[in-house]
Structure 1
Amino acid sequence: MRTGKRGLTTAAVTVVCAVTVLAAPGTAFADPGPTPSASASASRTAPPAATPGKDLEAVREKLDKLYHAAASATDQYNAAEEKARQQSAEIAALAKKITEGRQELDRLKDRAGAAARAQYRTGGLSDEAKLVLSEDPEEFLDNTGRVMRGQRATKGLLGEMTRAQEDLETYQADAAAQWKKLEANRKAKAKAQKEIEKQIAAAKELESELEQEEKERLARLERQAQEKAQTAWLGSNAVKDLDAATTDQGRKAVAYATAQIGKPYQWGAEGPDAYDCSGLTSQAWVAAGRAVPRTSQQQWQQLRHVDVKDMRPGDLIIYFDDASHVGMYVGDGKVVHAPRPGRTVTIAGAGSMPILGVVRPDTATAPAR
């Protein structure tokens, strides 16, 4: 390592410490990097050779926290986006009802106007007045029936007009309420977007401070941390059957998700060219014929929970205490997932991240093997 390397690494850590984020704690592992040569150590006034490795481990942990914070904000963005989409659809439906309500009210008013004009043409005498003035018994009986029918018709017309007016006022009030909710969710989306962009920018700035050798060592640290976590998970007997049978829908969902391998991660994306974590899992199940909630938190809250040891391909594994990440189990102890910005859809060990639990989108029973 050249003179000045420690200074660069220390600068990276200084950038790390300057960024405050909301994130789940990472898991630290020993430095796998090479020990500096004696000549390199002699060329700088630095602490023992382990210090650069410890600094890189701190960088790795901080990057994990930054991207975790971005993932949490992405879930909030997606939830706000989904609500805004639903509210826009509701407003459109209400607008249609308002238009139809106004047309119905106009039609009823026309009927009332026609009745008033008819009365005017007959000299302005109401049917009740004609009944009183009638001297012919047969005419009296005819007028009596006409009066009763007219009263019922008038009462019915007034009732229809009242109901139409009340419905119209209800639709208008509902539309106003939905507009307020839509505006609130637009603001929530904008706030979440700023948080996502802030965390990703901080992570990129931190990574840009590293030299190529450090980036490579950082990548090794990440791989070894994941491998260690996966080995520990498999050794814990958490999974009863790594190759459990699944349903036809489960197979279709897995086929869709694995076909996306290599496509880039993009927050808020649902394909077909890029995905975020829950965009991948939700679209995979849509392709299998089952609509599931859009975000990983909603998937955790609304789908049926199953024990980790009983999971089968197609099930969704929810990660971290705040349910901010999700992957799809594909069997053999592996998941397919969209990891984070700068990465692509890939296969990873199911236990390489902290598991919150497992949910199952379909309710069919898997065939016996």
Structure 2
Amino acid sequence: MASHRKSRPAGTRVAGIRTPALATAALTSVALLSQSANAAPAADGKPSVEEVEKKVDDLYRQAESATEKYNAAKEKTSKQRKRVDTLLDDVAERTQKLNEAREELGSFAAAQYRTGAAVPETATFLLADSPQDYFDRTQLMNRLTGRQKQAVDDYVTEQSATMKKRQEATKSLETLTESQSDLQTAKSTVQKKLSDARQLLSKLTAEEKARLAAIEKKKQEEAARQAAELAAQQAAQQKAQEQSGSTSSGSTSTSTSGSSTTDSSYATKAEKAIAFARAQIGKPYVWGATGPDSYDCSGLTQASWKAAGVDLPRTTYDQVNAGTTVSLADAQPGDLIFFYDDISHVGLYIGDGMMIHAPKPGAYVREESVYYGGASIIHSVVRPA
């Protein structure tokens, strides 16, 4: 499996080469929003609509990043809890064996007492009803001594193993407590960021909300235009590859055929993943959710590829390593597209510069341009199967 490339500073190139057309598109996007971005605060000290929009976007981003940390902590807590339960069950079983070994030792001690094992052998011989009775009793005690030794060994072994397992269980319980603490911290962070965002939005007037919607619409239009350019670029590249394949030698054609078989296998799985994701459109984004009624971003991609028979890790941080990194220009339907330097968001590429993703709190699973937040936030593209 290929590891993902190192995080790159904002504004650097996406995986692959950005064409002049895409660079122009990025500049156009900046031009469209420059007036909004540079807007000064209102005279009364109240933040402008543009400032609110940026702050809310930042808060949602921070919430999503915290969500992935929450997902990781939740997964770790779940695994640790299972381990603790297994260890405690093991300790209980070993304790039962230890008690049984202790009882056996007790029965031997009682048997020795009843047979007078503590009396000197000469006295035992003299007090015996007959010499044969003495020899029978001596033979019995020898057998008891052998069994007693085994019982003592068993007891010591069980006692040592039980103590070791109890120590493991205690340590695992401490780790579980730490994981639960991390989980609660991540949860609190998400809730705080979302609360702050809702509070900012609630203070907007109807007019300001309308302006905010207009800004968002401009972004979507620009993102759609960039997606169309990417689709055209990919189509041209595909055509060039097909033409190159048709003029290649017989040996090369055989190799290309083998590659096509692989691509066909991937395409079949990708179709299933995309079909599943498309069926989830309209369901709400809920942080930490993995379906079936709601999803967060990595929960959606995980569930989509699971429907195709491919198991992906839970978090974006792990999903980015679960496949082969390819360039954006080479992206195929089914590929995972990761966003931001901290790899806190992911979408499922469906072709033509579009993806299906669970965008953010308050939004629903939807089909959207991969440039929904601008070209600079795209981190990498990974082919998971």
User: Pick from 191, 194, 198: which aligns with 1:200?
Assistant: 194
Deviation at 1:58, TM superposition (A): 4.8
Deviation at 1:189, TM superposition (A): 1.9
- Does the 8 A contact of 2:228 with 2:353 survive in 1? no
Deviation at 1:306, TM superposition (A): 2.7
Q: List aligned pairs for 1:74-223, cutoff 5 A.
A: 74-125=67-118, 129=121, 147=142, 150=144, 152-208=146-202, 209=204, 211-223=208-220
* Structure 1 stretches lacking a partner, 5+ long: 1-23, 34-49, 363-369
My pick for the range that moved more, 263-272 or 107-116, is: 107-116
Deviation at 1:160, TM superposition (A): 2.1
Deviation at 1:146, TM superposition (A): 7.2
Distance 1:360 1:123 in 2: 79
| CA offsets 1:246-301 (integer angstroms, 9 cap, x no match) | 25443332222221111010111111111100111122233333332111112224
Deviation at 1:118, TM superposition (A): 2.1
Distance 1:232 1:136 in 2: 109
Give the 3-state SS of the residue equivalent to 1:328 in structure 2.
strand
Deviation at 1:187, TM superposition (A): 1.9
Matching residue of 1:14: none
TM-score by length of structure 1 reads 0.73
Identity of aligned residues (%): 32
1:334 equivalent to 2:328? Answer: no
- Does the 8 A contact of 2:230 with 2:353 survive in 1? no
Deviation at 1:236, TM superposition (A): 6.7
Amino acid at match of 2:326: D
- Does the 8 A contact of 1:108 with 1:161 survive in 2? yes
1:275 equivalent to 2:295? Answer: yes
Amino acid at match of 2:151: L
Deviation at 1:102, TM superposition (A): 0.9
Deviation at 1:361, TM superposition (A): 3.7
- Does the 8 A contact of 1:335 with 1:348 survive in 2? yes
Larger relative CO (CA 8 A, sep 6+): 1 or 2?
A: 2
Deviation at 1:84, TM superposition (A): 1.0
Distance 1:315 1:64 in 2: 25
- Does the 8 A contact of 1:60 with 1:222 survive in 2? no
* Structure 2 stretches lacking a partner, 5+ long: 1-8, 12-25, 40-48, 240-259
Distance 1:329 1:241 in 2: 17
**Inter-CA distance 356–171: structure 2 relative to 1 (3 Å threshold):** same
Distance 1:76 1:310 in 2: 30
Distance 1:359 1:136 in 2: 89
User: Pick from 310, 334, 347: which aligns with 1:314?
Assistant: 334
My pick for the range that moved more, 262-271 or 185-194, is: 185-194
Deviation at 1:325, TM superposition (A): 0.6
Task: Looking at secondary structure, tell me which structure has more helix per residue.
Answer: 2
- Does the 8 A contact of 1:67 with 1:199 survive in 2? yes
- Does the 8 A contact of 2:277 with 2:356 survive in 1? yes
- Does the 8 A contact of 2:219 with 2:372 survive in 1? no
- Does the 8 A contact of 2:357 with 2:366 survive in 1? yes
1:358 equivalent to 2:381? Answer: yes
**Inter-CA distance 194–338: structure 2 relative to 1 (3 Å threshold):** same
1:230 equivalent to 2:224? Answer: no
Deviation at 1:330, TM superposition (A): 2.7
- Does the 8 A contact of 2:71 with 2:315 survive in 1? yes
Distance 2:320 2:141 in 1: 66
Amino acid at match of 2:62: A
- The total of aligned residue pairs comes to 320
Q: List aligned pairs for 1:249-328, cutoff 5 A.
A: 249-301=269-321, 303-308=322-327, 311-328=331-348
Amino acid at match of 1:226: A
| CA offsets 1:97-145 (integer angstroms, 9 cap, x no match) | 111111111111122122222222222259x959x969979x8799679
TM-score by length of structure 2 reads 0.70
Distance 1:236 1:72 in 2: 32
- Does the 8 A contact of 2:50 with 2:212 survive in 1? no
Matching residue of 1:17: none
Deviation at 1:238, TM superposition (A): 11
Amino acid at match of 1:355: I
